[in-house]
Amino acid sequence: MDFNKFIVQLSSLLQADLPGQVAQAQMSPLGRSGNYDKTTLQKARKSAVCLLLYPHENDIFFPLIERPTYDGTHSGQMAFPGGAFEADKDQNLTETALRETFEEIGISPDDVQVLGNLSGLYIMPSNFWVQPVLAYLPSAPSFIPDKNEVASVVSIPLQELLNEENVQQTSLKVRGILLPNVPYFALQDKVVWGATAAILAELKALLQKIAPQVL
């Protein structure tokens, strides 16, 4: 695995047309459309997450956080570090993603190299418009999770994401409603679904365009 060549190729792919909703829809809960009217999107709260890549043990990894159990929309779910845009702290959504990554898992923005953005998406249950920011670290980090916001940090190798056997379906009970046939990624024995899975689906589509010898 040549991490530097990988970063160069991935950065180049970000400059072209992104897979967007076509890729996201493959891992979105059935019946949920990516098309929303402008009024809905204008009223949505702006937020950002960070998809952070780093080399480790001749593979490339990214961290997901497991949310604590609480009385809220995303209780116990697997997610990227991220959160709401705060006008008094952030000049843009990239700063939001990096600030939240520092607050939630202790990675300093000064250590992070931003590659660019993946396609944004709307999360209807929480009324958030989410901008995924793709970034990398040159070496494996030491995570310092915020115990109030993070139950655990789970490091995922990209090879697991690329393994088609890890694309599965299940029924999930969410806020008292049973959702059948929900697609998810089975990663490190975790069920990764919803917006996180949709974002990963777009990353996966990009990775499939990178030369196998680089990965």
The mean-pLDDT minimum among 152-161, 184-193, 206-215 falls in 206-215
Average confidence (pLDDT) over 188-206: 96
pLDDT at residue 74 tops 60: no
Q: Are strands 128-136 and 113-117 parallel, antiparallel or unpaired?
A: antiparallel
Give dist(CA 15, CA 28) in Å, integer: 25
The three-point CA angle 184-38-50 to 5° equals 40
**What's the number of CA atoms in the CB half-sphere (13 Å) around residue 159?**
11
Nearest to 67 by CA among 49, 87, 43, 52: 49
Of the ranges 4-8, 75-79, 125-129, the best mean pLDDT one: 4-8
To 10 degrees, the CA torsion angle through 98, 112, 116, 131?
-20
- Burial code (b: 16+ CB inside 10 Å, e: under 16) for 89-99 equals ebeebbbbbbb
pLDDT interval class at 103 (50, 70, 90): very high
Average confidence (pLDDT) over 190-214: 93
Predicted pLDDT at 34? 63
Per-residue pLDDT of 46-71, as tens digits, reads: 999 999 999 999 999 999 999 987 66
Nearest to 24 by CA among 163, 188, 206: 206
pLDDT interval class at 211 (50, 70, 90): confident
**Are the C-beta atoms of 133 and 94 separated by less than 8 Å?**
yes
Average confidence (pLDDT) over 206-211: 92
Q: Which fold has domain 3-207?
A: Nucleoside Triphosphate Pyrophosphohydrolase (3.90.79)
Predicted pLDDT at 76? 78
Cα dist. 65→28, 82, 179, 185, 192 in Å? 19, 10, 23, 15, 10
